[in-house]
Amino acid sequence: MAMIDLAPLSRRTSHLREASILRALTLKVNALDDGINLGQGVCDLEMPRPLRLAAVESLLHDRATYTNFAGVLPLREQIVRRMKERYGLEYDVGEVVVTVGSSMAYTSTLMTLVDPGDEVVLFEPFYPYHHTGARLAGAVVKPVPLTLGDDGIDWLYGGAGDDSLGGGTDNDYLNGGTGNDYLNGGTGTVFVVPAHGFDELLFPSVAP
């Protein structure tokens, strides 16, 4: 049988073919009878019955088709209500977009805001897809390490941006940023961006 020559894969995806540490850990955990996987956010709880029934109803009523690109309106309205009631944050429904998980939200943000060569600041530790997604968008990834505090719980940033960071607010992006608060997904640390923006956060000694 003749071999079929496959088209070469793109260079920009070469890093995606590297072994995934999360998947490697999952295989090791699964090999243990009493292993508990803390490396991936895969929920093993029973799905609530109302969700199962709602999924069945959507199929019976021919709703298994494309929806509005921003998500169905009733869901976005409920998100607006919840954000106001729980967090005191007010949004217009037009400012809310529903995605297929946070990974898709992150990827969509990168593809919308980042051009090849732009600098993306990732606070370490971060999830592997933060790095792979940024590189896929053509970004130059600049890791900035966090330090575990003396209490063994809080992760701290000393504000000592080094010379490898560009320091320009036009092409610096932070992993997990929304509005003026930036949540580091790997640790749960929340940064509040100062009045002068990223430069004051990353370079407090030289910011105006």
| CB-side neighbour CA atoms (13 Å) of 4 | 2
pLDDT of residue 73: 93
pTM: 0.68
d(CA 79, CA 96): 8
Report pLDDT for 28. Answer: 85
Give average pLDDT by consecutive 10-residue segment, the chain, 208 residues.
68 72 79 79 80 87 80 94 91 92 86 88 81 89 79 63 48 45 60 54 48
Which pLDDT does position 98 carry in this prediction? 92
Residue 194 pLDDT: 53
Cα 170 from chain centroid (whole Å): 20
